[in-house]
Structure 1
């Protein structure tokens, strides 16, 4: 065979293989994130854009109500991808997601570890509030978007710690503005760090980032599906040292029916170059293959399981892989 014909034949074969590899792939995709001003929106929009660019598809992040709504959107296929935390994921599987009570959202699969969501409290320095125990009776506390991880768990945590409050909801940017305008006393954040709304507040005014005491931390860990966490001192200019906190793991999710080769390619883009992800958001320092084992709730998408087994020597049992 002449060289020209060989090259042409090779090109045709490569094109055919590429077409075969992409069989069933969607032409576009959506990643369910959360409200603007929160970490989910920045992180989710970032990896959506990265995947779209690398795979030559149309895709992007979508503003949602956060982890609970993302489980519903991905389960029904209204969004191909989303992000959730382990607490809301468990509730969704059990049929206690408030968005659709009784519906077991078993068609949302884990695809890669994201980061831990610390729970933290912020107040204006002018308020004089420097500890949870100093939050005044009937304080107006912003808990984030309704149905979010923060809104689901932080009020219960405040109840556990004996705080009496008036509950407020809204997007993180909006709540930050309300705090600055004196319409809120405290914001209870559950978001990857640094939280954009807190970073913005620091630029505009003086704030107190309030840590839990050892006793408060222990009480919360005993009562909720969370673990110990320290917010590093370099996270915010306000912090003079690490701040004691608690956290819950986040995972990216996909509709379980998406093609295996498509999800494997998406996971490869996100997990194969951590530096690119950290450039999107510093919370992605935890978006590394070895953290695959932090998922003990959701079934794995077979495409994601394949990637982690082949690239991270992951020990994922068959009974944790969708369709196996």
Structure 2
């Protein structure tokens, strides 16, 4: 099966670096002349965060690089595994399914050639509605509500419908990029947006500027039910994350990691990780979710094999204890 036209990918950014790479002594044998990073749809955190670090890395290394709009974590696993994209961004749930061969993009294909590179942030699952809807809790969502779950095959679309079913919500499932879904809920074409994305999510920030919205938190019982059924952890969206979020909101989350094709040169991936992980303030300037892009969060990966270059960086610089059997090629 070929992924050449997988998902009708659209090149979203062509980022050409002009800065000479400072560490000219680094062995560049086998390095690619350019790179592509698979992100997700516009209006989501993956797109903003990914485009930013792709630009940063291209500039620092002095090579051409860019980001592509994709269907998100599931598709990124496929693209990186096949080598159509050098890098991608995924969530632990979709990563586990891809390794098991249950990725819906290519059922039966175990995508073992996508390796962990560095931790990004947690993706909370949250619900947004118009304030005028009168919906204030999950139990208020009426049967048959039109719920937008994000791009098809995304983390949100993969898990949130199952979560809603587990909580007894009956719905009409809709898909689209976050920006479009925000417009649809504002126009009355959708009743609810159930999003899984790093916070603050650009589409939600834009929506609250244009209209009054409610954030629907999980109750403790709902949170516990979801944690029993799905590979998620408890998460609190802090008050003030959005202007209209005046109280902490209980949620659940999955960790996100960047991934690299396992066949990329060790020295290349090492330098990419070094650029991203060595200056967190610079990463937070790209997107606020990067406050969790910290070396100590290397241990949040318990699914993917590590790329040798990434493993070496975390062992040398973060005191990571990564066993040999979790490093690709060992």
TM-score bracket relative to the smaller structure:
over 0.9
The structural deviation recorded for 1:18 is: 3.5
Give 1:33-182 correspondences, 5 Å limit. 33-182=39-188
Residue 240 (structure 1) aligns with: 246
Q: 1:25 aligns with which of 18, 22, 31?
A: 31
Deviations 1:285-317 (A, max 9, x none): 000000000000000000000000000010000
User: SS of the residue aligned with 1:251?
Assistant: strand
Give 1:233-272 correspondences, 5 Å limit. 233-272=239-278
Q: Which runs of 5+ in 2 are unaligned?
A: 1-20
Q: Which runs of 5+ in 1 are unaligned?
A: 1-14
The structural deviation recorded for 1:78 is: 0.3
Q: 2:298 aligns with which of 292, 298, 303?
A: 292
Question: Could you state the TM-score of these two structures normalised by the residue count of structure 1?
Answer: 0.94
Residue 315 (structure 2) aligns with: 309
Distance in 2 (CA, whole Å) between partners of 1:146 and 1:273 is: 34
Deviations 1:129-158 (A, max 9, x none): 111000011000000000000000000000
Structure in which a larger fraction of residues adopt helix: 1
Residue 221 (structure 2) aligns with: 215
Q: Which runs of 4+ in 1 moved over 4 A?
A: none
Indicate conservation of the 8 Å contact 2:93/2:231, yes or no: yes
Distance in 2 (CA, whole Å) between partners of 1:97 and 1:77 is: 17
User: SS of the residue aligned with 1:97?
Assistant: coil
Deviations 1:209-235 (A, max 9, x none): 110101000000000000000001121
Distance in 1 (CA, whole Å) between partners of 2:27 and 2:295 is: 24
Question: Could you state the TM-score of these two structures normalised by the residue count of structure 2?
Answer: 0.93
Distance in 2 (CA, whole Å) between partners of 1:128 and 1:277 is: 38
Distance in 2 (CA, whole Å) between partners of 1:234 and 1:206 is: 15
Indicate conservation of the 8 Å contact 2:26/2:267, yes or no: no
User: SS of the residue aligned with 1:305?
Assistant: helix
Count, aligned residues:
309
Distance in 2 (CA, whole Å) between partners of 1:279 and 1:19 is: 29
State the Cα RMSD in Å: 1.1
Distance in 1 (CA, whole Å) between partners of 2:290 and 2:308 is: 23
Distance in 1 (CA, whole Å) between partners of 2:295 and 2:243 is: 30
Max radius of gyration: which structure?
1
Deviations 1:74-95 (A, max 9, x none): 0000000000000000000000
Residue 13 (structure 2) aligns with: none
